[in-house]
Chains A and B, each alone.
Chain A
Amino acid sequence: MMTDNIKVLITPEGIEEVEMTQEEIDQAEANDLEFQEKLEQEETDKTAKEENKASGRQKLKELGLNDDEIDALIN
């Protein structure tokens, strides 16, 4: 089991729990911030994709396609 600020080394010689260094802890905190930015970008991209999908569906409807025909095209 891994808990805060502990890393576990699993080797052919056995399992060892090691305290993270302050440098490693600082790096983990920096990684948290970086990862949060990645998640926010993913959410932005997802929203844009959903908006484009809705817009595209509406345009296809205006061309006369029904929902079943649109689903067949895009799924």
Chain B
Amino acid sequence: MSGSGLSNTRFSLRINVGGTAKTSGHYFATYVLQHSGFSKWDSSASQGYADMGYLHNSSGSTSQAHAEFTIFRPLQADKTTILHDATTWDNGTGFGRYSGATANNSAEAISGITLGAGGFGSGNIEIDQILVYGLKK
């Protein structure tokens, strides 16, 4: 991720319903594991997006981040839950793993997710590769 400042390197998530990203009505919690220890990163039941931690902050950097999401039962009319996990050289210097979960607080099908930088500010997401898997019982 890149942007004009450190705030632009925070990875943000919203849940889409009917093709529109929700800005309320979801919960999230993220923790961070670093060599210095384990701690809470961020959590909220009212913030307009889920905060998934820092990813690297310079275009073309060799300190690339990797993130993955597992979305459970997205098409069912239930409170969809999402696991999110990322490994990153956050800010290009400190290694960490940001893990957490986000849940829709409405029992409804979701149509997708929206990813953004810095609380959906003006930063950029530069993606080398996106892989989408689907599993069905």
Contact = CB atoms under 8 A, between A and B. Distances in A.
Contacts, number: 41
A30 B79 CA distance: 29
A3 B121 contact: no
A31 B10 CA distance: 12
Interface residues of A, number: 17
Interface residues of B, number: 18
Contact of B119 (A4, A10, A31): A31
A4 B124 contact: yes
Given A32-B8, A35-B118, 5 more contacts: A4-B122, A28-B121, A31-B120, A32-B121, A36-B7
B119 A34 contact: yes
Contacts of A4: 122, 124
A17 to B, nearest CB: 12
A28 B122 contact: yes
